[in-house]
């Protein structure tokens, strides 16, 4: 089975959990759930892919 955005071990989720979630929680002042993380985090992931691929 291939890895993708749904795979919790993928670089995508590692990036979101360790870099984007803490940043969003500081900015929003509340806990960030998975849907918010996807919604607010995707632009950060897109920029990351653009610069590092």
Q: What is the tens place of the pLDDT at every residue in 23-53?
A: 999 998 999 998 888 888 888 777 776 666 5
Q: Is the pLDDT of residue 10 over 80?
A: no
Identify the domain containing residue 29 by its residue range. Answer: 16-52
Q: Considering the domain boundaries, does residue 30 fall inside one?
A: yes
Q: Is the pLDDT of residue 1 over 50?
A: no
**DSSP 3-state helix, strand, coil percentages of the chain (rounded to 5)?**
70, 0, 30
**What's the total number of domains in the chain?**
1
What pTM, to 2 d.p., does this model score? Answer: 0.63
Q: Is the pLDDT of residue 8 over 90?
A: no
Give me the pLDDT at residue 22, please: 94
Find all residues with CB under 8 Å of 28, minimum gap 6, and list them.
36
Q: Considering the domain boundaries, does residue 3 fall inside one?
A: no
Q: Considering the domain boundaries, does residue 35 fall inside one?
A: yes
Sign of the dihedral through C-alpha 42, 10, 13, 39: positive
Report, as an integer, the average pLDDT of 1-20: 70
Q: Considering the domain boundaries, does residue 1 fall inside one?
A: no
């Amino acid at each position: 089975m291939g890895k993708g955005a749904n795979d919790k071990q993928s670089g995508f989720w590692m990036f979101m959990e360790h870099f984007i979630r803490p940043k969003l929680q500081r900015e929003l002042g509340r806990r960030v759930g998975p849907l918010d993380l996807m919604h607010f985090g995707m632009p950060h992931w897109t920029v990351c892919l653009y610069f590092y691929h």
